[in-house]
């Protein structure tokens, strides 16, 4: 996930059988005799794939080509390397979801391998990431809304109101039930990919190699240039875990979660790579490095012979695509922001209120998350400076990687410990290589977030230790009280 602001049964013995306590709620269990509540419907493969693609691709794709242009076309090499890492991570999530097809994703995997505390850290860090990032996406969307409706950007309070609306509309869609979440996600993914594909595919017919500029535009070594451009691109693939987090709401999760994760990641990577390559070939390098709207410039270049009309409708098309893209991302991330606390609450590691579920959606989780994101948004506009807000957003680039590290470490643990119920011997070598690659990719994400973000992110994690202490104590009392 990206945005225009740069930047889820108690097991005291991890060697025991998989903890059943993290299983989905009875109303979502396969084969249950209880009728499914009205408004609840499990996602099929197409919607699950759209969930992954929609959450990976937010609004940042509309600035990415200009962000990496100063490094030259060598940045495409960094894109390719990152894509391989993201696909490896997606494959690992697919393997884990096959054995643990419950709502919660990284939380479920970390807890099954390392116990309650690791599971809580995965849930806590993922939850922080979702609600802070939702606020960032909403603020970023306001900039594009201002292109379509100039009155939106006339005053800070009109911008604040627009940002709040952008957050609450997807939240209302979530509260209406999973069938509406899936419908919104499917429609928004289709709508936002139409203009992106116009540039990514159609732009190749107008491709001019002379616009590419130098392969390496800096004085750095090739490795240094790849690493520097990768630091900007690293977080473009956040969201690969989307289907795994919502596994309890996916039909036939043992099969469809892995497929949706891989298809969604590959689809997003294809759009990223083709879109960036097309913009590189449509906009002259010296202009691209200073462009604030590279896709608009690309559309203008494609239709430069229409008497200048491209400058009018090109920007409008890109602004519409950006708003739809971020609305779709907010729709999906709002669901994910409630799923991980829901799974943790079922196990007594989050407050019980997060366990409330109606029409397939954890209602309390959605409301608490959107309320926190809204409060952060209001603070952003009332403080008069985005410094604090930007710091929080940068912190999420670190907190987002904690569940990835714990998940890949869990897969390595399952492989190294010879857990026959979780590992197929014929796939041992292949799965081990994938897990190590995914772990390395996750570490690269941590390193790319920067020293300040890691330092502050660790403080956020430590703040969660107090919450865990309280919840663990309550869980312990509840466990011994019947005997007392």
At residue 292, the pLDDT reads 66
DSSP letters of 196-252?
HHHHHTGGGGG--GGGS--S--SSS-HHHHHHHHHHHHGGGGTTTTHHHHTGGGBSS
In contact, 23 and 247? CB cutoff 8 Å: no
In contact, 287 and 212? CB cutoff 8 Å: no
With tokens 């041992």, the residue in question is 428
In contact, 223 and 74? CB cutoff 8 Å: no
State how far the Cα of 430 lies from the Cα of 233, in Å rounded to an integer. Answer: 27
* Angle at CA of residue 111, ends 108 and 114, nearest 5°: 145
In contact, 39 and 176? CB cutoff 8 Å: yes
Helix (H, G, I), strand (E, B) or coil at 43: strand
Burial of 191 (0-12, 13-18, 19+ CB in 10 A): middle
With tokens 């759209």, the residue in question is 50
At residue 384, the pLDDT reads 62
Burial of 402 (0-12, 13-18, 19+ CB in 10 A): buried
Residues 6+ apart with CB under 8 A from 14: 112, 113, 114, 115, 413
- What is the H or E stretch that residue 292 is in? none
Q: How many residues does the chain have?
A: 484
At residue 11, the pLDDT reads 35
At residue 8, the pLDDT reads 33
In contact, 3 and 142? CB cutoff 8 Å: no
State how far the Cα of 377 lies from the Cα of 458, in Å rounded to an integer. Answer: 23
At residue 481, the pLDDT reads 41
Q: What is the pLDDT along the chain (484 residues), one digit of tens a residue?
A: 554 333 333 333 333 333 333 333 333 333 333 344 444 556 778 878 887 887 787 766 777 788 888 888 888 888 888 888 888 888 888 888 888 888 788 898 999 999 999 999 999 998 988 888 888 888 878 877 877 777 776 777 888 898 899 889 888 888 877 666 667 767 777 777 777 777 888 888 888 888 888 888 888 888 778 877 777 777 677 788 878 877 777 788 888 888 888 888 888 888 888 888 888 888 888 888 887 678 777 887 887 654 444 455 666 777 787 788 788 778 778 887 888 888 888 888 888 888 888 877 788 888 998 999 898 888 878 876 555 666 676 777 788 888 989 999 998 888 888 654 555 566 777 888 888 888 888 888 787 777 877 888 888 888 899 989 988 888 888 764 443 3
């Amino acid at each position: 996930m990206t945005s225009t602001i740069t930047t889820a049964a108690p097991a005291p013995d991890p060697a025991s059988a998989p903890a059943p306590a993290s299983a989905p709620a009875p109303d979502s269990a396969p084969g249950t005799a209880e009728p499914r509540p009205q408004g609840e419907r499990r996602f099929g493969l197409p919607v699950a794939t759209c969930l992954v693609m929609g959450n990976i691709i937010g609004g940042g794709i509309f600035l990415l080509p200009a962000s990496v242009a100063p490094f030259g076309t060598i940045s495409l090499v960094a894109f390719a390397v990152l894509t391989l890492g993201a696909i490896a991570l997606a494959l690992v999530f697919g393997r884990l979801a096959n054995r643990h097809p419950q709502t919660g994703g990284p939380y479920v995997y970390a807890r099954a391998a390392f116990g309650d505390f690791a599971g809580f850290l995965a849930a806590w860090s993922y939850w922080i990431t979702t609600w802070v990032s939702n606020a960032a996406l909403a603020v970023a969307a306001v900039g594009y809304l201002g292109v379509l409706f100039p009155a939106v950007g006339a005053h800070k309070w009109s911008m604040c109101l627009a940002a709040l609306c952008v957050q609450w509309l997807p939240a209302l869609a979530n509260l209406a039930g999973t069938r509406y979440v899936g419908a919104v996600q499917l429609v928004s993914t289709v709508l936002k990919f139409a203009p992106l594909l116009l540039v990514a595919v159609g732009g190749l017919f107008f491709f001019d190699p002379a616009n590419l500029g130098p392969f390496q535009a800096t004085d750095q070594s090739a490795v240094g240039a790849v690493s520097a451009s990768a630091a900007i691109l690293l977080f473009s693939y956040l969201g690969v875990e989307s289907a795994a987090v919502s596994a309890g709401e996916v039909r036939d999760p043992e099969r469809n979660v892995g497929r949706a994760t891989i298809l969604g990641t590959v689809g997003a990577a294809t759009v990223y790579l083709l879109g960036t390559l097309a913009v590189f070939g449509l906009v002259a390098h010296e202009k691209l490095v200073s462009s604030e709207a590279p896709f608009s410039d690309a559309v203008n270049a494609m239709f430069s012979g229409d008497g200048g009309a491209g400058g009018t409708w090109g920007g409008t098309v890109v602004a519409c695509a950006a708003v739809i893209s971020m609305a779709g991302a907010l729709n999906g991330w709002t669901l994910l922001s409630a799923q991980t606390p829901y799974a943790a609450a079922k196990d007594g590691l989050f407050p019980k209120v997060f366990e409330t579920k109606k029409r397939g959606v954890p209602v309390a989780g959605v409301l608490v998350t959107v309320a926190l994101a809204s409060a952060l948004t209001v603070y952003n506009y009332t403080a008069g400076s985005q410094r604090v807000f930007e710091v929080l957003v940068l912190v999420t680039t670190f907190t987002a990687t904690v569940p990835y590290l714990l998940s890949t470490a869990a897969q390595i643990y399952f492989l190294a410990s010879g857990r026959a119920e979780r590992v197929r011997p014929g796939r041992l070598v292949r799965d081990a290589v994938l897990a190590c690659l995914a772990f390395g990719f996750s570490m690269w994400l941590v390193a790319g977030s920067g020293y300040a973000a890691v330092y502050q992110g660790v403080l956020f994690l430590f703040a969660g230790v107090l919450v865990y202490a309280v919840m663990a104590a309550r869980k312990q009392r509840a466990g011994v009280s019947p005997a007392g």
